[in-house]
Amino acid sequence: MASESKELINRPTQEVAEQKKEAILYRLQPHHSWSVDYDTNDWLLTVELPGVDKDKVRIRYLEDFYELRATRDEVEYVLADYFPFDIDLKSVTGKYNQGLLSITGKIRDPLAEAVEVKLS
């Protein structure tokens, strides 16, 4: 009985083994670049994520802020920053192809919901 309980204590569970296997040793900021066309109000954010599977990429964004997290082996890529302008949340789309993430959208028109004052 004592040897049985000793075995159970020394044997790692599958959960602990998986946590050790996917432990993050390095956090890196991926190489990224911006392209903005103020004539058409289009923007493009390109992020390089070499060797990362599509299902390991997570992007969240607000009108003025974004956060990207992607994992590969013992590496976690983290990119969090403010947009240099407010964005139209409904226009944002993303594509991921062989380690290159492209996120596009429109700059929000700050006067889109403005009310015009009628002069008398």
| Domain containing residue 63: CATH number | 2.60.40.790
Q: How far apart are CA 86 and CA 110, in angstroms?
A: 8
At 87, give phi and psi (nearest 5°).
-110, 155
Residue span of the structural domain in which 45 resides: 23-106
Strand intervals (E) in the chain = 26-28, 32-37, 42-48, 57-61, 65-72, 75-82, 93-97, 100-106
pLDDT in tens, 60-104: 999 999 999 999 999 999 999 999 899 999 999 999 999 999 999
Angle at 98 between CA 94 and CA 104, to 5 degrees: 20
In a domain, 13, yes or no: no
Domain total of the chain: 1
pLDDT in tens, 31-64: 999 999 999 999 999 999 999 999 999 999 999 9
pTM for this structure?
0.74
Q: In the structure encoding, which two tokens stand for residue 77, read together? A: 């890529």
